[in-house]
Amino acid sequence: MANNQQLELHWIGKDKPIAIEPRILIENPKLSFKESSISIIESNDIFDNILIHGDNLLALKALEKKFAGKVKCIFIDPPYNTGSAFEHYDDNLEHSIWLNLMTQRLYILKNLLTEDGTIWIILDDSEVHYLKVVCDELWGRNNFISDITWNSRKSVSNDAIISMNTNHILVCATNADTIRQKAKKGELFKGPIDETKFSNPDNDPRGKWVADPFDAPNIRPNLTYPVVNPNTGVEYWPPKGRCWRTTLDNYKEALADNRIVFGKTGKSKPQLKRFLSECSDKGSVLTNLWNDLDTTTNATKHSQQLFNKPFTNPKPEDLVARCIELATKPGDIVFDSFLGSGTTSAVAHKLHRRWIGIEMGDQAYDYCKVRMDLVIKNQDMGGITKVSSWKGGGGYKFYELAPTLINIDSLGEAIINKQYSPDMLASAVALHEGFEYCPDQNCFWKQSKSTENAYLYVTTNHVDLSFLKTIERQLSDTDYLLVACKSFDSACQNFDKRIKIKKIPQMLLGRCEFNKNNYDLNIINPPVYEEEDEDE
């Protein structure tokens, strides 16, 4: 296979993408929550957060246009498709269905990311290797960052062939080169400095240091040359496929400046001193083995403090916090379309990030809302509350997915859903047509806008020629108007080249699946897990 070719994964149904209905979102003010009296936020306002109840694929479609290119970090913990199930999710889908539904979601999630955005996906061994190939197709292999191994449990399952004690976190970027540049500057993907690794055995006046390898990935021919250990006379070359970090001249300067060491005994290959004083503002590079964080057992104990009935297999806050802190800065948007018990939104909120979360079923009310209200009121003392110095504040808006726009009546005819008010209808048609619903207070027909001079007007009234003439007198030569209505006189069809007229709902039929209310993962079997000891 040529180097520029990419492996593709094929499964039943992949070539038949789902035509998802773009639904509008309706705020439920009674469930939205804001605590302005406790707010400690100054430069980073975290009141404009979004909690959505509904099927996450439909909700993603609703958000796709408005938030395209605006999300800095996506953290998702989707059902693993293990063949067992959890109380709140289906986790037993047939393999190809799981891949198809996940791919549909990932395609939209990819469009939401910023140029320096990343997605973090937690999975176990069941599907991670398949999904890695899917991610390679969507993001490109060059934009794969890492497969992180998280030690998710300490106890051993004695009834297993090999006890599964870890989870995978797949990390992909919109543009890995951008991430790489920001990482070098210490702007992203840098963890806290572990000062215990630094020492000063030679009493260097510049302070504590650590010895880093002097070799690096092969970049330029002039970075490959022999280095002679002055203590032993042994000649060293870079390992195969690698080079030295600097040119020969720069190496000589570093050697003269006491920045090159040859191991603890002075008899090894060259190493480069990295001083604590020169790197503390940039952070440290983390490995892809994370065994220093809380387990699911710790997260369950936290869940027991928050809810009357703990959530099944929640993720610990310090795990999510590490991902968010590596990938974002305060004020950035963090997104989770499998919100579960609200861990991602809670952590993002405590870290002064803006957030969007989607959750289906009653857990949106019983877990996500309950948890976020406690966080905002500073009544959640668990997780990262203390280490993040969280004191409460902020808020969010709670949204419901609108019902389907088009129903089929008793005669088999497509009709507009009677639950839609005129404003809802105008907003929904705008979403379908790619317009932004933003009614002009001074001009009734400037109801939605696409480009500077392109407008959409939606009405349930019959449109006649006299009505269009009223609008025509207000149109400029460069204006374009699409009128969507239930019916119109035939004379209106070619009245003015600047005005196009369409019937609703006929103009929307065939574009998507109407009256489809969920694409979720249905529960089949109850889970069976071995409990860990209390002291672990």
CATH topology of domain 406-508: Trna Endonuclease; Chain: A, domain 1 (3.40.1350)
Name residue 317's amino acid: E
- Does 503 score more than 70 pLDDT? yes
| Structure tokens given for 108 | 């939209």
Q: Please, are residues 147 and 125 in contact by the beta-carbon 8 Å criterion?
A: no
Q: What's the Cα-to-Cα distance from 334 to each of 72, 114, 325, rounded to whole Å? A: 6, 11, 11
Domain extents for the chain?
27-190+286-401, 195-279, 406-508
The residue-averaged pLDDT of 254-272 equals: 93
Whole-number pLDDT of residue 158: 84
Residue 119: partners with Cβ closer than 8 Å, 6 or more residues away = 73, 74, 75, 76, 106, 109, 110, 113, 139, 170, 171, 172, 173
Residue 330: partners with Cβ closer than 8 Å, 6 or more residues away = 43, 44, 351, 352, 353
Q: pLDDT tens-digit profile of 179-190? A: 999 998 888 998
Whole-number pLDDT of residue 372: 97
SS3 content of the chain, % helix, strand, coil (to 5): 25, 25, 50
Q: pLDDT tens-digit profile of 2-36? A: 444 566 788 777 777 789 999 999 999 999 998 76
Using alpha carbons only, what angle is made at residue 117 by residues 111 and 122, rounded to the nearest 5 degrees?
90
Whole-number pLDDT of residue 10: 82
Whole-number pLDDT of residue 87: 56
Beta partners for residue 284, in sequence order: 191
pTM of the complete model beyond 0.85: no
Query: Which secondary structure element, helix H or strand E, spans residue 145, and what is its range?
Result: strand 144-151
- Does 525 score more than 50 pLDDT? no
Q: Please, are residues 528 and 84 in contact by the beta-carbon 8 Å criterion?
A: yes
Tell me the pLDDT of the chain averaged across its residues.
Answer: 88
First CA to last CA distance, the chain = 48
Whole-number pLDDT of residue 528: 37
Whole-number pLDDT of residue 445: 95
Q: pLDDT tens-digit profile of 82-103? A: 555 445 555 555 677 788 888 9
Q: What's the Cα-to-Cα distance from 470 to each of 78, 224, 253, 455, 467, rounded to whole Å? A: 53, 77, 79, 16, 5
Which DSSP category does 191 fall into? Answer: B
Is the Cα dihedral 235, 240, 243, 248 positive or negative? positive
| Structure tokens given for 147 | 């497969």
| Structure tokens given for 195 | 């000062």
The residue-averaged pLDDT of 99-124 equals: 94
Q: pLDDT tens-digit profile of 452-492? A: 899 999 999 999 999 999 999 999 999 999 999 999 999 99
- Does 41 score more than 50 pLDDT? no
Classified as helix, coil or strand, 449 is: strand
Q: pLDDT tens-digit profile of 401-451? A: 999 999 999 888 999 999 999 999 999 999 999 999 999 999 999 999 998
Q: Establish whether domains 27-190+286-401 and 406-508 are of one fold.
A: no
Whole-number pLDDT of residue 5: 58
Place domain 27-190+286-401 in its CATH homologous superfamily: Vaccinia Virus protein VP39 (3.40.50.150)
